[in-house]
Structure 1
Amino acid sequence: MKAYAALLERLAFTPGRNAKLALLQNYLTTAPDPDRGYALASLTGELDFAGAKPALLRALVSERVDSELFTMSYHYVGDLAETIALIWPGQGEARDVPLSEVVERLNAASKTETPAMIADWLDALDPSERLALLKLMTGGMRVGVSARLALTALAGTGDVPLDDIMELWAGFKPPYEPLFAWIAGGPKPEPTIKAPFRPVMLSTPNDYEGLSALDPADFAAEWKWDGIRVQAAAHGYERRLYSRTGEDISAAFPDIVDRMEFSGALDGELIVRRADEVAPFGDLQKRLNRKTASKALLSSHPAALRLYDILIWDDEDMRELPFHERRARLEAAVTTLDPLRFDASPLLDFDTWDALAAHRADPPAAVIEGVMLKRLDSAYVAGRPRGPWFKWKRDPMIVDAVLLYAQRGHGKRSGFYSDFTFGVWDDDRLVPVGKAYSGFTDEELKRLDKFVRQNTVERFGPVRSLSPELVVEVAFEGLNRSKRHKSGVAMRFPRISRIRWDKPAKEADHLTTLEAMLP
């Protein structure tokens, strides 16, 4: 656990991608089996311990620490795992608990055995190791490592390409010993699933100025729909729906999977569609991150797949074909599929960048985020190659709002107030409309933190209520109606784009401004 705890701590305080990769590669090449496999599983979200939940951890710490002291400490720290790690009064003999011991015993333990087992580990570990243990059990890593970054580091420890690892990844189970053996030079494991994930091709951002140097005749364009990118893979009776990172989300979307009556792999955007209209992203959000979907939800929020590309069809790999040929194959394939669940994203008619800019400025639906551009001669290449595909997003929506609440951040931001709730005017009162924790520099964060501490009105645990004085310019990608928010609206991807130290709070925007932006 010492090496694992050191890895998590260094990852949390290391901002650069290449530096994180170096830390991961060093751990994966020096840690023993099966510890390194379980560490990789924790970083890719492949571990789940049903018996180790926050309620159990709260109960354990309440047996060792005065409840009032713990509550005050938790309110100050703002993170349950961090608070327990710091306040736990160790009573056992210190020892280095192997990561494999934790994972394997948690998986095998009964509900009644789990509490005493966790308490014994907490007694034997120092605070940083306790924090690593608690993060492992609860899944709250917060170290800035995505599943793809972890697998990129793994690929860097040997000569196996990342794309090859990604294609077989869904068939491996922790602690991945055949995978490590393959990367070290051993034989390639046999595929354990017939409908594997194929790494997706991604686009790079561009704008009018960047596109003006290119010939529009070389590109096809289509709408950028506001859903989530997925891949539908099927072979025989095996059907799987994957997220863009390779996570199997099939169980949450049986209405799509049951209609995948083909053999191949299709790339597209997962949406909620009613009749011929694409619903706002908020409707799709109600279907995401679920292990199952109820009959009522399937009926009220029917999922569909708007297809962009075709990778495999009837055992023919089409990824090396140019886009214009793949597009023709896709249009032919769509005619064989259920039209209620599958259609092809339409291509746009344009011959100049000005014509495309006109499409972008006036899309036929509010749920469209912009346009996608694809070179007609481009193969389907995994990753984000520069040049073949571009995304030209619509300009973000912007409003001026007033900061209302601030909360402590996590990881390297745990000492700062970095999560901000903001509001706009509704008649003569401010109503919250969103929350943001990005968009500002480190220097601006320090100044914001100072403002919070000097303008606190009330404290609610780790949250501070602020004097309504500071205006921030908030940029966001979309707006939906919401019954969950008192304001009646919910922002998509809000971030603070500018701090208006110069603007009086009374000049911030009104709720009617946001309501006018609703689709």
Structure 2
Amino acid sequence: QIGLGYAGLRDLPPPAEAATLTVRDVDTAFESMGALSGQGSQARRRELVHRLFGAATVDEQRMLGGLVTGELRQGAQAGLLADAIAVAALVPAGTIRRALLLAGDLKLVAVAALLGGAPALAEFALTVGRPIAPMLAQSAADVGTALAATGVPAAVDDKLDGVRIQVHREGETVAVFSRSLDDLTGRMPEVVQQVLRLPVARVVLDGEALAVGPDGRPMPFQDTASRSMRRESGSLRAYFFDALHVDGSDLIDEPGAVRWAALDEVVPEEMRVRRVMVSGEAEAEAAFQASLSAGHEGVVVKAAEAAYDVGRRGSAWVKVKPRHTLDLVVLAVEWGHGRRTGKLSNLHLGARDPRGGGFVMLGKTFKGLTDQMLAWQTEKLLSLAVERGDWVVKVRPELVVEVAFDGVQRSTRYPGGVALRFARVLRYREDKPASEADTIDAVLALL
């Protein structure tokens, strides 16, 4: 959170010839950018950006740009780093993950592990008012696969398409934190009031904030996200699915069933995520279909005996969402970088316009592409090229690709006013002409 994004990377200075930057130089530069505020901060941030990127080589500029924009896919997620720290510090990985859960800061945990070992890590404790890293879920294609991972009995929770929140209450003081542990308290006064009405003095709850329409059904994620940033139409409500602390009792090491029982005691049903306990696939499938009918994006299947964990996406929580697919047309493609240098990678996707003719762009994706697909599409798309730039190659709109995605959202970035969420390539449809691709009307219907 340093106030720098795509716009701040325009008109960068030419790259340096020799590599001189150190990790410390980069960390110091980013920290300085993040500390800026008030009048003149934008100009000062620009100076720091130019100084940093001017000292970077071509490859270093590319990596720094990826770090800033969130497009650097190097695989170093929190779970992997936690395991690495455990090996380096000669302590069990579970000890690192528990400390990370309680500290919410990988750097603090790394320092404690490397300098103090297990005794230093044992000093981390849940503190009401200080956010902790949330437990995450892995994905499965269907509820049967999810149950195979969690075992039975299991809980099947509605998966709300809202903003993940962690709420801490100490007496009359309430704090609301995001999934990334940012403070959202001032942006969610309704959530604060809901929690203040609970019959409890000290509590830490895990849940979702969701914008709900007049009909009581959930509104699209964009409405929830914008509502959490500023006041807009639509009521923002809190729905909780876990209790981590209740009136002096830490619950993170307790089985899910114990935590959920504590949740039921202090949080009324209308403030809880709908949960169905199941012992088989038929019951889980029924709960899944009921969740979709209620307007939610799927379910999370949860092991009843699992403790609250962090770091890797383990098998204790497994999310299941319906998979939407569309047959779209490739309009252009971008040259890749890193290990994809020399290959055409990021696809520009379009839906057919049945009225005006042509195609309407919906977004881009490079996900789901295997090395074999990259090689094939590079040769194929170059044969369809009508304009070859240094970065983007425009092609004749002839190649159809089947794309899976999680949903559709409104977007002012693309001509159709919509964009696909988490789009990834499944396969190419050489058997299908572009005239039979899905239409923009079909995409708008999903919205």
Q: TM-score normalised to the size of structure 1?
A: 0.67
- Measured after TM superposition, the shift of residue 245 of structure 1 is 5.3
State how 1:110-129 maps to structure 2 within 5 Å. 128=59
Q: Residues 333 and 191 (structure 1 numbering): CA distance in 2 closer, same or farther, change over 3 Å?
A: closer
State how 1:415-494 maps to structure 2 within 5 Å. 415-427=342-354, 428-459=357-388, 462-482=391-411, 485-494=414-423
Q: Does 1:224 align with 2:159?
A: yes
Larger radius of gyration: 1
Deviations 1:182-233 (A, max 9, x none): 3497687777975233343344445355478799972332222223443223
Q: Residues 183 and 477 (structure 1 numbering): CA distance in 2 closer, same or farther, change over 3 Å?
A: same
Q: Which amino acid aligns with 1:311?
A: L
Q: Does 1:197 align with 2:131?
A: yes
Shifted more, 234-243 versus 396-405: the winner is 234-243
Q: CA separation in 1, counterparts of 2:439 and 2:189?
A: 42
Q: CA separation in 2, counterparts of 1:149 and 1:494?
A: 25
Q: Which amino acid aligns with 2:351?
A: V
> Which residue among 255, 260, 274 is the counterpart of 2:213?
274
Q: Which amino acid aligns with 1:164?
A: A
Q: How many residues align?
A: 428
Q: Secondary structure at the match of 1:306?
A: strand
CA contact (8 A) 1:227 1:271 kept: yes
Q: Residues 269 and 413 (structure 1 numbering): CA distance in 2 closer, same or farther, change over 3 Å?
A: farther
Query: Structure 2: which 5+ runs fail to align?
Result: none
Q: Residues 172 and 239 (structure 1 numbering): CA distance in 2 closer, same or farther, change over 3 Å?
A: farther
CA contact (8 A) 2:150 2:302 kept: no
Deviations 1:227-276 (A, max 9, x none): 34432234457654444455555565455356543522212223222342
| Partner residue in 2 for 1:345 | 273
Q: Secondary structure at the match of 1:278?
A: coil
- Measured after TM superposition, the shift of residue 471 of structure 1 is 0.6
Q: Which amino acid aligns with 1:226?
A: D
Q: Residues 349 and 163 (structure 1 numbering): CA distance in 2 closer, same or farther, change over 3 Å?
A: closer
Q: CA separation in 2, counterparts of 1:117 and 1:353?
A: 56
- Measured after TM superposition, the shift of residue 498 of structure 1 is 1.5
Q: Secondary structure at the match of 2:378?
A: helix
Q: Residues 317 and 215 (structure 1 numbering): CA distance in 2 closer, same or farther, change over 3 Å?
A: closer
Q: CA separation in 2, counterparts of 1:186 and 1:317?
A: 20
Q: CA separation in 2, counterparts of 1:373 and 1:135?
A: 34
Q: Which amino acid aligns with 1:327?
A: W
| Partner residue in 1 for 2:338 | 411
Q: CA separation in 1, counterparts of 2:234 and 2:410?
A: 15
Q: TM-score normalised to the size of structure 2?
A: 0.77
| Partner residue in 1 for 2:245 | 312
- Measured after TM superposition, the shift of residue 343 of structure 1 is 1.2
Q: Which amino acid aligns with 2:299?
A: V
Q: Does 1:496 align with 2:425?
A: yes
Q: CA separation in 2, counterparts of 1:212 and 1:140?
A: 33
Work out the percentage of aligned pairs sharing the same amino acid.
Answer: 28
- Measured after TM superposition, the shift of residue 133 of structure 1 is 6.6
Q: Residues 431 and 343 (structure 1 numbering): CA distance in 2 closer, same or farther, change over 3 Å?
A: same
- Measured after TM superposition, the shift of residue 350 of structure 1 is 6.2
CA contact (8 A) 2:146 2:320 kept: no
Q: CA separation in 2, counterparts of 1:192 and 1:256?
A: 22
Give the RMSD, CA atoms, in angstroms. Answer: 4.3
CA contact (8 A) 2:366 2:425 kept: yes
- Measured after TM superposition, the shift of residue 333 of structure 1 is 1.6
Q: Residues 459 and 263 (structure 1 numbering): CA distance in 2 closer, same or farther, change over 3 Å?
A: farther
State how 1:69-218 maps to structure 2 within 5 Å. 84-85=14-15, 88=16, 96=20, 98-100=22-24, 103-104=27-28, 107=32, 128=59, 141-158=72-89, 159=91, 161-170=96-105, 180-183=114-117, 194-206=128-140, 207=142, 209-210=144-145, 218=153
Q: Residues 440 and 314 (structure 1 numbering): CA distance in 2 closer, same or farther, change over 3 Å?
A: same
Q: Which amino acid aligns with 2:360?
A: V
Deviations 1:148-167 (A, max 9, x none): 54344334321252221342
Q: Secondary structure at the match of 2:403?
A: strand
Shifted more, 216-225 versus 468-477: the winner is 216-225
- Measured after TM superposition, the shift of residue 500 of structure 1 is 0.7
Q: CA separation in 2, counterparts of 1:133 and 1:416?
A: 21
Q: Residues 251 and 177 (structure 1 numbering): CA distance in 2 closer, same or farther, change over 3 Å?
A: farther
Q: Residues 324 and 162 (structure 1 numbering): CA distance in 2 closer, same or farther, change over 3 Å?
A: closer
Q: Does 1:402 align with 2:329?
A: yes
